[in-house]
Chain A
Amino acid sequence: MRDVAARRGAIMRNPAFWGVIAIAALLAINVIKDPSYLSIGYNGETGRLSGNLVDILRAAAPILMIAVGMCLVVATSGIDLSVGSIMVVAGAVSMELLSGMDGSTGNAALTLAVALGIATALGAVNGILVSVVGLQPFISTLVMMLAGRGIAKVITGGQNTTADNDSFAWLANGYVAGIPVVFLLAMAIVALVWLLVRRSALGLMLEAIGMDSRASRLAGVKRRNLQLTVYSVSGLLAGVAGVFATASVMTVDVSRTGYQLELDAILAVVIGGTSLAGGKFSIGGAVIGGLLIATLDKTVVFLGIPASATPAFKAIVIVVLCLLQSERVRSLFRHRRALRAQSQKEAVAA
């Protein structure tokens, strides 16, 4: 009995649990609007699964990428505001290169390599500013956030460049075994990062820096190298997200691609239970956070919420979620319930 209660308490204290509940609640609302919401169709002709859930998974892919990168950065008690801008740079590089080449798979691979290389390099610049120069992460990545979009505009000459390459587009729009490639890739990358972090000692080192950088320095933890690694990985993942986002329409929109997505990434990380103060982090939590944000975006459209009310709707969902995650708010509820129960008992006794 007690054991069950304790375990339930532990689950309730896990912020990611409330993220799952929120996703379930949103899906339930959609089902109320349309009972067939969750149904997944199979198109024999194209061999694809289709349905709202599949759409959500696809929409989640870019957010998952930047959320996971952000999660690692946040663990070191840093922040990366530049992910949205690195996305647009990767997208601009891709589109600009592809628009001047024929649509071969080789060109797609080459483009991918160049775009991700540049994204990683921009991430490394963040890392150097933070670790070697010693600037505040907020400032360094803010600079990169502003510069990144500028770089993208320079790359495309201010245009929204469009290109054609089926292999490249397949990354975002293709299907393998009926499942969107983009989601498979995203999950594979998440799994890879998870293995890298949790099967090596990287995770422990990152948490140590995030919790107490002085103590970890004296314990021989190499803060600089780790920060450089983490910001580079975040840049690389943002590059992947940028490729996903632009490949889906084969257009880079220099002012909109990745615009303000850093906020979504931060939100996903926090929803997943990683404190912005750094330290303990949860990649699984960030994934749930990312899925929640994608579900929320899709729900807003599915319910046909008027454009002007959309931000308010999203804000309300997220505030309610954060309140539920707060230990204090929950204990307040418990306390009130207990009080009520007690007063009832007393009333009975009297």
Chain B
Amino acid sequence: MTGAPPIVEMTGISISFPGVKALDAVDFRLFPGEVHTLMGENGAGKSTLIKALTGVYKIDEGQILVAGVERRFGGTADAQAAGIATVYQEVNLCANLSIGENVMLGHEVRGPFGINWKATHRAAAGVLATLGLEQLDLRRPLATLSLAIQQLVAISRAMVTEPKVLILDEPTSSLDANEVANLFTVIRKLRDQGVAILFVTHFLDQVYAISDRITVLRNGGFVGEYPTRELDRTTLISKMIGKDFATLRSLGSERQTHHYEPRGEPLLKAEDLGRKGSSEPTDLELHQGEVLGLAGLLGSGRTELARLLYGADRPDSGTVWLRGKKTDIHNPTAALSHRIAFSSENRRDEGIIRDLTVRENLVLAVQAKRGWFRPLSRKEQDALTRKYLAELNVRPADPERPIKFLSGGNQQKVLLGRWLATEPDLLILDEPTRGIDVGAKAEIQAAVAALAAKGVAVVFISSELEEVVRLSDRIIVMKDHRKLAELENGPHVTAETIVAVIADEGDDEEGDSE
């Protein structure tokens, strides 16, 4: 970071895709022994820049110097051979193999009789030790580990080749606070060994916790490169979204002060709702027009409870009354017909259908609710799509584009549109803002507030406690698959309140999140 020359220097990088300028004259420098964060809204060009560096995309203009030599890589493997390793957001490991095998895959130590497994495992142990992970059992199958540990294994795997540059593309998007802290310990260790680390994340806290410098991109263009300590949060956000952030901020406080008093019969009432092994019997009440927050650590049972409400998993105990009537919600189809909608936390596997267009994704639930033999006419589909694309400010507002080409935040907005199009009375949103940029996040929060104002009951789940506190009228705190407490929200409730509830109740520090 000091006088040393940059290990990676990219100047004037431009890439065009048909119809879009994905990167426009972007500069980027990375020094040995620093953690450098790439910031920007989704679609700003962060991933594209990484892929330009590793040669996944061919650059149209510009120059890439690695250790002072001009390079053009032919792909991730090529880049890795030159000392640039990448760990992607989605863990790309083999679930059935052991930790040791995963770490050494493709770099097995060979002896005269093929692979020398003993030596291979020894090498794996060495790599893990340098990262401070020597406590891991090499022979354990990867599938038995939490996502967080898998992430660390993925990093270990990248470190096998002893790269000089390590790219971490949103490694924290599915980790909780504890796990993030673990990951950061590892990252700091690597930094101190002189590895240059390029870090992509959406979490501002994390940016300030770990990075030395920040490069900001916006709409494929280069905004600037700043030392972290010289850039405060507000400035950073306004640089990212290019406009004043104050309006977005006001939203939360407004909601929190304007507390909603539930009146009359609950929309949904559940008694002893539970499922063996995933959710302890829980009581629950939901009123029209209120936002119920489910807070708790990852693996505390928030998602499991939400899935039971929607019938995504079948409850094996308890009774549900809907609008005062005893109702059996045994599958999603039944839930939809009772005007309940559920947006899964797993956007990639349980949310969007990648190869369908935005329009098809948006109308899918409405169409499924009607049955395939009563098709929506093309006109109705177009009207519905246009309505929600505009309402939720989806960009690009092109209904015929496959949804996979949209950024995460815009995909999430389309999904929200999918559920809103079914005109639900109860909307369950599981981590709707995870892994998306601040701008989209604020828009989704605003949409939730607006829905509640219109009388929809919303169950809101998020790992970001501030967000839960800001949006909810009531908060259920969960831990170990059961309801710990129920809080009426108000000015006295903060994220710390919830943390205190969780911490007071238990003595477990390890957190057996799976």
Contacts and interface: CB of A to CB of B under 8 A. Distances in A.
Interface of A: 199-202, 204-205, 207-208, 211-212, 214-222, 226, 279-280
A200 B372 contact: yes
Interface stretch (B6-14, B78-86, B271-279, B351-359): B351-359
Given A212-B349, A215-B349, A220 B372 contact: no
The secondary-structure label for the interface of chain A is helix
B364 A208 contact: yes
Given A215-B349, A219-B332, A220-B335, 8 more contacts: A200-B375, A201-B367, A208-B353, A211-B356, A217-B332, A218-B310, A218-B351, A220-B368
B460 interface: no
Interface string B339-374: 000101000011111111000100011011110111
Contacts of B354: 211-212
Interface of B: 310, 312, 332-333, 335-336, 342, 344, 349-356, 360, 364-365, 367-370, 372-376, 418, 422
B365 A219 contact: yes
B353 A215 contact: yes
B356 A222 contact: no
B375 A201 contact: yes
A201 B380 CA distance: 13
9 contacts: A200-B375, A201-B375, A207-B356, A207-B360, A215-B353, A218-B342, A219-B365, A220-B369, A222-B368
Nearest to A226: B372
Contacts of A205: 367-368, 372
Given A211-B354, A211-B356, A222-B333, A216 B375 contact: no
Contacts of B356: 204, 207-208, 211
B353 A202 contact: no
Contacts of A220: 332-333, 335-336, 365, 368-369, 422
Interface-central residue, A199, A201, A280, by most chain B CB under 10 Å: A201
A2 to B, nearest CB: 10
Contacts of B336: 220
B350 A215 contact: yes
Interface-central residue, B310, B353, B367, by most chain A CB under 10 Å: B353
Contacts of B353: 208, 211-212, 215-216
Interface-central residue, B352, B364, B374, B376, by most chain A CB under 10 Å: B364
Nearest to A217: B332
A332 B335 CA distance: 50
B323 to A, nearest CB: 20
Nearest to A6: B18
Given A201-B367, A208-B356, A218 B372 contact: no
Contacts of B374: 200-201
Contacts of B376: 201
Contacts of B418: 219
A202 to B, nearest CB: 5
A218 B349 CA distance: 10
Contact of A216 (B364, B369, B373): B364
B333 to A, nearest CB: 5
Given A204-B360, A208-B364, A220-B333, A215 B375 contact: no
Given A204-B360, A211-B356, A279-B355, A218 B350 contact: yes
A262 B349 CA distance: 31
A44 to B, nearest CB: 47
Contact of A219 (B355, B364, B373): B364
Contacts of A200: 372-375
A214 B367 contact: no
A298 to B, nearest CB: 36
A214 B333 contact: no
A215 B352 contact: yes
A212 B349 CA distance: 7
A208 B351 CA distance: 11
Contact of A218 (B332, B367, B375): B332
A320 B78 CA distance: 31
Contacts of B372: 200-202, 204-205, 226
A91 B9 CA distance: 72
Contacts of B364: 204, 208, 216, 219, 221
A226 B365 CA distance: 15
B367 to A, nearest CB: 5
A72 to B, nearest CB: 12
A337 to B, nearest CB: 17
A26 B368 CA distance: 44
A218 B312 contact: yes
A215 to B, nearest CB: 5
